[in-house]
Amino acid sequence: MMVWGKGNVGLLVIIIEVVAFGFQACFSEINITRGSFPKGFVFGTASSAFQYEGAVKEDGRGPSVWDTFSHKFGKIADFSNADVAVDQYHLYESDVQLMKDMGMDAYRFSISWSRIYPDGSGEINQAGVDHYNKLINALLAKGIEPYVTIYHWDLPQALEDKYNGWLDSRIIKDFATFAETCFQKFGDRVKHWITFNEPHTFSVQGYDVGLQAPGRCSIILHITCRAGNSATEPYIVGHHVLLSHATVVDIYRKKYKAKQQGSVGLSFDVMWFEPTSNTTEDIEAAQRAQDFQLGWFLDPLMFGDYPSSMRRRVGKRLPEFTRAESSILKGSLDFVGINHYTTYYAKPNSSNAIGTLLNDSIADSGAVTLPFKNLQPIGDRASSIWLYIVPVGMRKLMNYIKQKYGNPPVIITENGMDDPNNPLTPIKDALKDDKRIKYHNDYLKNLLASIKEDGCNVKGYFVWSLLDNWEWAAGYTSRFGLFFVDYNDKRKRYPKNSVQWFTKFLNST
C-alpha cells in the first residue's frame, strides 16, 4: 500500500472529488452543436506519417524502426506492413478536400524523421522537405490549420543501429537537430507543434513488453524478445524523451518563437482509472496507476521531477534530473495534448508473484487495471480488445488535469473508436457506423460539460481518425476512420455515416 504523507493529502482529496462524479453522466441532457463550444475551439482529425503515408522507399526516405519491426514474422496481427498504408503520400490533396468538405478546422499529422534525415542525422533530404511543404500549403489553401507532431514513433533505423536510439543520450542532440530543421523549414506556416506522441506508450510497448518497435524486453516466457531489460529500459527511454522535449522547447523559445509565434506541446496517452471501490486502498491504487501513466511524463514538465510514488517504488532504476535539467523541464509546455479513448478500474496488486514474474514498469505501479469488475465490463467494447466505451471518463480526466496541474490549456489530440475489418462485410454495410457516431456524441457531451460546467481549459478536439489506416501491431484488422478505405481497390475512400454526422455538427450553430 502507498503510504500517504502530508504532501499527498491534497491529491487524495482531488481523487475523491473526481470519483464523486459517479459513473453516470452527472449533467442534464445536452444537445451539442459546434456553437455550444467556446469561440475559437478547434475541431480536427489526426494521423501519423507511418500509418498513413506509405511510399516508404520513395524520394529518398530512409527506413525506420517500424519498417524493420513490421517486416519481422509474427509481429503484426495480420502479417501486413505499412509499405503502402493508405497512400496519403500520393493522395494528400484529395484527403485535404475531404477535411474541407466536412468543415474541419485543423489536421494533425506527423513528419517522418527518416524522410528529412534518411540516416537520422547528417544531410537533409530535400525531397522530404518538399513533400511536407506541399502538404502544409495544401492545408492552408483550404483554410485548414496544420498541427504537426515531430515524433510519432518512427525512429530512423540508422540511429537504432548506431547507438540503440532512445537508450542513448546522443539521441537528444540528434532529435533536437531534426526538430530545429522542422522549425526552420515549416515554422513560418506551422503554429502548433507537438514534440512527441505518447511517450508512455512507446516506452512501455517498445522497451518493456516488446509488442512495438523496436521490440525489446526481458519478460520471462516472452519468446520474441532477443534483447532488453524491462525493469530499466522504459525509464531510460522516458528520461531521454523528456530531456529531448525540454531541449527542443528551449531552442524554439530562444530562437524561433518571437518571429514565428507558435506554441509547443506534447501528446500523452491517458486512460482514466476508476477505483474499483471507494476504499482508500483502491483510490490509492488508481492514483498510482495514473502516476505511472500520465504523471511519469507530465509531472516533470509541470513540477520538475517524477511523481513521488515512482521515486519510492522504482528507486535507483529511475534516473535523476540535475538541477539544471529540472529547471529546463519545468514549464516547457504551452499546452497539454491528451489522447483519451477509454477507462479502466484500478485496484492494488496483491500478488507478489505477478510482480516477480514481470519485473517491469507495469508491475512497479503496484496497481492492477482491468476493464471488468465482478465479471461485468466497464462499458460497451469497440473492436480493439483494450477499448471500452466510457464517455464520462473524459469529463473526469479533464477535471483531474484541471485540479492537479493548475488548469493548463488542453487539446484532445486523439479520441475515437474502431470497428473490425471484416472482409465479408459489404462496404455499404461497413459505412453504417452508428456506434462511432454515438461514441463521439457522448464523449463530446462530457467534454463540453467539463468546459461549461466545470471550467476546464480545453481548446480543441481531434478525431482519430480521418481514414481507416494501418494500426501498428493490429495491422489492417482495425478500422478507426470516419472514411472507409478499400484496401483492395486503390485505397479508395468512402464516407461512413459518421462523416455526415460530423459535417452536420461542424456546420451547426
Confidence of residue 361 (pLDDT cuts 50, 70, 90): confident
**Looking at residue 427, what is its pLDDT?**
98
- Assess whether pLDDT exceeds 90 at residue 25: no
Q: What is the pLDDT of residue 21?
A: 45
Residue 220 has pLDDT above 80, yes or no: no
Q: Average pLDDT, stretch 338-349?
A: 97
Nearest residue to 63 via CA among 115, 121, 123, 126: 115
Q: Do 244 and 175 meet the contact criterion of CB atoms below 8 Å apart?
A: yes
Q: DSSP label at 472?
A: G
Q: Are strands 343-348 and 367-370 parallel, antiparallel or unpaired?
A: antiparallel
User: What mean pLDDT comes out for the span 467-485?
Assistant: 98
Which pLDDT value is given to residue 29? 42
Task: Decide: residue 288, CB within 10 A, 0-12 exposed, 13-18 middle, 19+ buried.
Answer: buried
Q: What distances in angstroms separate CA 492 from CA 87, 142, 274, 308, 432, one per listed residue?
A: 10, 21, 41, 50, 17
Residues 59 and 64: their CA atoms lie apart, in Å, by 15
With a cut of 80, say whether residue 250 has pLDDT above it. Answer: yes
Q: Which residue has the higher pLDDT, 4 or 308?
A: 308
Would the pLDDT of 352 be above 80?
no
Active site residues: 198, 414
What does the pLDDT average to over 473-483? 98
Q: Is the pLDDT of residue 183 over 90?
A: yes
Per-residue confidence (pLDDT) for residue 17, from 0 to 100: 44
Neighbour count for residue 245 (Cβ, 10 Å): 30
pLDDT at residue 37, as a whole number: 98
pLDDT(46) > 80:
yes
Q: What is the pTM assigned to this prediction? A: 0.94
Asked if 446 and 392 touch (Cβ cutoff 8 Å), the reply is: yes
C-alpha cell at 174: 540528434
Whole-number mean pLDDT of the chain?
93
SS3 102: helix
Closest CA to 245 of 339, 175, 318, 159: 175
CA atoms of 89 and 54, how far apart (whole Å): 6
One-letter-per-residue 3-state SS of 38-68? CCCCEEEEECCHHHHCCCCCCCCCCCEHHHH
pLDDT at res. 28: 36
Lowest mean pLDDT across 10-19, 180-189, 296-305: 10-19
* Residue 332: pLDDT over 90: yes
Helix (H) or strand (E) holding 172: helix 170-186
pLDDT value, residue 226 = 80
For 366-391, write each residue's pLDDT tens digit: 999 999 999 999 999 999 999 999 99
Other C-beta atoms lying within 10 Å of the C-beta of residue 220 = 10
Grid cell digits, residue 90? 500520393
Residue 350: band (very low, low, confident or very high) from pLDDT cuts 50, 70, 90: confident
Confidence of residue 26 (pLDDT cuts 50, 70, 90): very low
pLDDT for residue 31: 76
